[in-house]
Amino acid sequence: MGKNDNKNFLLYFVIVFCCSCAPKVSLPGKAIFEVKILEKFFSMPDGTELPLKKWLPKGRDPTAIILGIHGFNDYSNAFLETGVFLAKNYGVALFAYDQRGFGGAEPRGAWAGLDAYIEDAKVIILALKKLYPNLPIFILGESMGGAIAVVVMGSSSPSRVNGTILMAPAVWGRKTMPWYQRGALSLGAHLMPWMTLSGKGLNLKPSDNLEMLKRLSKDPLIIKETRIGTVYGLTNLMDLAADIASDLTGPTLILYGERDEIIPKKPVLLMVKKLFSKTRVNQRIALYENGYHMLSRDLHSSIVLNDIGSWIVNGNKPLPSRADQRNILFLLNK
């Protein structure tokens, strides 16, 4: 076997090996039923039960409905503080579910594929609209959930949603990642998709609320170690969200903390520039000087939650915190 033959054989071996170890996706089954909103689950069209949490105003009918879509490795309980605050102070009802592979939704730790996550959000929105036909419905997406909300609302059929709220949206696609990070992710996802990673050693601070972070570290439903194949799926989602962000046309409130150490400023800046380039008057960007990634659970979360409630009720009026009056492009460029 010649030198070139050896090279070709090695290349062939690597290609075959990579393909045989490609990231696996745990796809949902065939859609058979209509979505059912049960007491503790959303029963999905393929029969999968996604754990449900809901916060309803006491003693009165809700003024609006929010669908909460949680972040990566998190689950529906991420909206506990938000749901309690909005129900009590604004009469808003919040429904949140564990996405496939997260929280109590099986198969735990597996990635269900972009289409599954997007379609789940769409059909749940329609089910909520059917349950509350006369009330406005909003999507509230945090981090990965924000990326899903961007894709849902930027698609050709964005469902019947009155507004989108994006908290620290995960729009960190490959275009804004360093080359070595892109390379390591691709290599790891194709050679060792089963391998798990944790955030230990990265020294990233997702919030200044240390007591809350301690509780999360002890919560068995929070995923502590993540398969590389699942991270690869998340990156594909962020890629799509970053590309489609300019197609957001409906009322949108984007919330971002200047101290966010999880989603860098650069991809958020690119997203904001795309929106500003189309001169959209119904899209608001609020920047919080002391905010971290987990804005709705930070020590100053009441400021953010009050802004969300006010935006839902008052529309185009300035936010109570005036976080939407700051020079967004200048501050993100720092």
* pTM for the predicted model, two decimal places: 0.86
Q: Does residue 13 have a pLDDT over 50? A: no
Angle between helices 228-244 and 114-131 (to 10 degrees): 60
Q: Does residue 153 have a pLDDT over 70? A: yes
Asked if 93 and 54 count as a contact pair (C-beta separation under 8 A), the reply is yes
pLDDT at 16: 37
Radius of gyration of the chain (CA): 20
pLDDT at 149: 95
Residue that wins the pLDDT comparison between 3 and 163 = 163
DSSP SS3 for 81? helix
**Of 94-103, 113-122, 197-206, 313-322, the least confident:** 197-206
Q: If you average pLDDT over residues 321-334, what whole number do you get?
A: 75
Neighbour-count burial of 309, counting CB atoms closer than 10 A to its CB (0-12 exposed, 13-18 middle, 19+ buried): buried
CA distance linking residue 188 with residue 229, whole number of Å: 8
Per-residue pLDDT tens digits for 227-251: 788 888 888 998 899 888 878 878 9
CA distance linking residue 236 with residue 163, whole number of Å: 25
Cα angle at 199 between 196 and 204, to 5 degrees? 160
Return the residue matching tokens 């962000």: 245
Angle between helices 228-244 and 179-191 (to 10 degrees): 130
Per-residue pLDDT tens digits for 22-54: 556 656 666 677 899 999 999 999 999 999 999
Residue 275: Cβ within 10 Å count: 18
Closest listed residue to residue 159, CA positions, set 185, 142, 136: 136
Residue 283: Cβ within 10 Å count: 19
Residues comprising the chain, all counted: 334
Q: How confident is the model at residue 157 (pLDDT cuts 50, 70, 90)?
A: low
DSSP-assigned letters across all residues of 188-204: HHHH-TT-EE--TTS--
pLDDT at 185: 53
pLDDT at 11: 40
Residues sharing a CB contact under 8 Å with residue 138, sequence separation 6 or more, in sequence order = 64, 65, 66, 67, 161, 162, 163, 164, 165, 312
Supply 9's token pair: 């054989």
CA distance linking residue 103 with residue 42, whole number of Å: 14
Closest listed residue to residue 48, CA positions, set 25, 80, 26: 26
Which strand (E) or helix (H) includes residue 186? Answer: helix 179-191
> How far is C-alpha 264 from the geometric centre of its chain's CA atoms?
15
- Residue-range domain boundaries for the chain: 3-333
pLDDT at 288: 95
Q: Does residue 113 have a pLDDT over 60? A: yes
H helix intervals, 219-299: 228-244, 265-276
Supply 235's token pair: 């990156």
Q: Does residue 17 have a pLDDT over 50? A: no
Asked if 316 and 142 count as a contact pair (C-beta separation under 8 A), the reply is no
Q: Residue 43: what are its φ and ψ, rounded to 5°?
A: -90, 115
Angle between helices 114-131 and 144-154 (to 10 degrees): 70
pLDDT at 75: 97
Domain 3-333, CATH homologous superfamily name and number: Alpha/Beta hydrolase fold, catalytic domain (3.40.50.1820)
